[in-house]
């Protein structure tokens, strides 16, 4: 989902892009990653590969760790060998959601579940393997090419008169198109190393996001309030995972509402 958007944006900007799907390049196989990077010798590598099944990670921690942890280190190490800047994607799930106000880059991390733990391990592996790195924490992604909340709501809204969506989880919905623009720009700014928080501007609950989606799409479906307790899942979710940046010159995305509008527009014209 994100990789597709990054390739599109980078290509439109005139970059020579070499993209690899999972079947073409398995990030858990260090030597294959190394050889692929040595062959291409890029100036920058954007690693969008991830195990993103939050609930599945609870019972398949080895796979999540291999991709999100060791795999991230493999990509960063290969990039370091050719002196390439690596941009690595991380997540709001490295935080426990207990702060009650927006999280900044220097806040202490404390993942609630296996997925967050493996993504944190990836951050650490990237930093250890390549001093020329940017770690981008983002959140609540939606876009073309992958399973996401917006598409799920559109499908449910077409079938039902009402849906129940939680109000007690708050975050920053982020359209992959907006995030991809920022990632490509960051790849061109190797001087901006370290951790970055980049997500849709503003914040909302999943319930509010569903209301916005139906409103923008012209779907007549009521959104009822619900609590996380009413929808138990294998993995705990951070209750408040709003991301903001404390950097001097942060990359700031458009409002999350603009992301929803832009994504729906691309769905109509696709």
Alpha-carbon distance 199 to 174, whole Å?
5
User: Of all residues in the chain, what percent are helix, strand and coil, respectively (each to 5)?
Assistant: 45, 15, 40
CB 243 within 8 A of CB 173: no
DSSP 19-56: ---TTT--TT-HHHHHHHHHHH--SEEEE------HHH
How far is the C-alpha of 24 from the C-alpha of 27, rounded, in Å?
10
Q: Which residue among the candidates 51, 115, 240, 263 is catalytic per the annotation?
A: 115
Q: Is 115 a catalytic residue?
A: yes
Residues involved in catalysis: 115
């Amino acid at each position: 989902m994100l990789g597709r958007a990054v390739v599109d944006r980078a290509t439109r900007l005139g970059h020579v892009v070499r993209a690899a799907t999972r079947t073409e390049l398995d990030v858990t196989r260090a030597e294959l990653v190394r050889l692929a990077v040595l062959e291409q010798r890029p100036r920058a590598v954007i690693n969008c590969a991830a195990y993103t099944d939050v609930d599945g990670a609870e019972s398949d921690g080895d796979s999540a760790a291999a991709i999100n942890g060791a795999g991230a280190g493999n990509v960063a190490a290969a990039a370091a060998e050719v002196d390439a800047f690596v941009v690595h994607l991380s997540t709001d799930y490295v935080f426990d959601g207990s702060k009650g106000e927006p999280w900044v880059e220097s806040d202490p991390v404390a993942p609630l579940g296996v997925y967050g733990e493996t993504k944190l391990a990836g951050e650490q592996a990237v930093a250890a393997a390549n001093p020329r790195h940017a770690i981008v924490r983002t959140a609540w992604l939606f876009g073309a090419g992958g399973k996401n909340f917006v598409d799920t709501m559109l499908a449910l809204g077409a079938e039902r008169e009402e849906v129940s969506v939680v109000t007690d989880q708050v975050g920053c919905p982020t359209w992959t198109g907006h995030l991809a623009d920022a990632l490509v720009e960051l790849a061109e700014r190797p001087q901006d190393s370290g951790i970055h928080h980049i997500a849709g501007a503003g914040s909302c609950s999943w319930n509010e996001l569903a209301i916005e989606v139906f409103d923008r799409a012209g779907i007549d479906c009521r959104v009822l309030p619900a609590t996380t307790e009413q929808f138990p899942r294998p993995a705990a979710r951070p209750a408040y995972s709003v991301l903001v940046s404390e950097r001097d010159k942060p990359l700031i995305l458009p409002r999350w509402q603009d992301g929803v509008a832009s994504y729906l527009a691309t769905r109509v014209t696709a």
